[in-house]
Amino acid sequence: MKFFEHITVKIFAVFILALWLMPVFSAPPKLRTATFFKRQYISLYSIANMYRFRVTARGGRVYMTGRYHSFSFTPEKMAASFNGVQITLCHSLYQKNGVYYVSKMDYDTMLMPLINRHKMRKHYVKTVFLDPGHGGRDVGAEGRYYYEKSLTLRLASKVRSLLVKNGFRVIMSRRSDAFISLKDRVAAANKYKADIMVSIHFNSAANKKVYGLETYCMTPAGASSSNASKIDYKKYPGNNFDRNNFALAYLMQRAMLSYSKALDRGVKHARFLVIKEAKMPAVLVECGFLSNPTSEKIIGNDRYLNQIAKGIAHSIVNYRRVASEASLK
Ligand SMILES: [Zn+2]
Q: What is the pLDDT of residues 120-147, one digit of tens each?
A: 999 999 999 999 999 999 999 999 999 9
Residues 278 and 189 sit within 8 Å (Cβ to Cβ): yes
Domains of the chain in sequence order: 33-115 (3.30.457.10), 127-324 (3.40.630.40)
Average pLDDT over residues 297-303: 97
Which residues in the chain belong to E strands, given as ranges?
33-36, 39-43, 54-58, 61-65, 70-73, 79-82, 85-88, 94-96, 99-103, 127-132, 169-172, 196-203, 213-218, 223-224, 231-232, 264-270, 282-289
pLDDT given at position 115:
96
61 vs 63: CA distance, rounded Å: 7
CA of 132 to the centre of ligand 1 (A): 9
CA of 38 to the centre of ligand 1 (A): 36
What is the layout of strands, in order, in the sheet containing 54-58? 54-58, 61-65, 70-73, 79-82, 85-88, 264-270, 213-218, 282-289, 196-203, 127-132, 169-172
Residues 275 and 197 sit within 8 Å (Cβ to Cβ): yes
Question: Where residue 229 falls among pLDDT bands split at 50, 70, 90?
Answer: confident
- Which residue, among 170, 168, 124, 111, has the nearest Cα to 323 in the 3D structure? 124
CA of 73 to the centre of ligand 1 (A): 30
CA of 167 to the centre of ligand 1 (A): 28
Q: How would you classify the pairing of strands 223-224 and 85-88? A: unpaired
pLDDT given at position 6:
72
103 vs 35: CA distance, rounded Å: 9
Q: How would you classify the pairing of strands 213-218 and 282-289? A: antiparallel
CA of 152 to the centre of ligand 1 (A): 8
Q: Is the pLDDT score of 183 beyond 60?
A: yes
CA of 199 to the centre of ligand 1 (A): 9
Per-residue pLDDT tens digits for 81-107: 999 999 999 999 999 999 999 999 999
Residues 301 and 313 sit within 8 Å (Cβ to Cβ): no
CA of 135 to the centre of ligand 1 (A): 10
CA of 284 to the centre of ligand 1 (A): 9
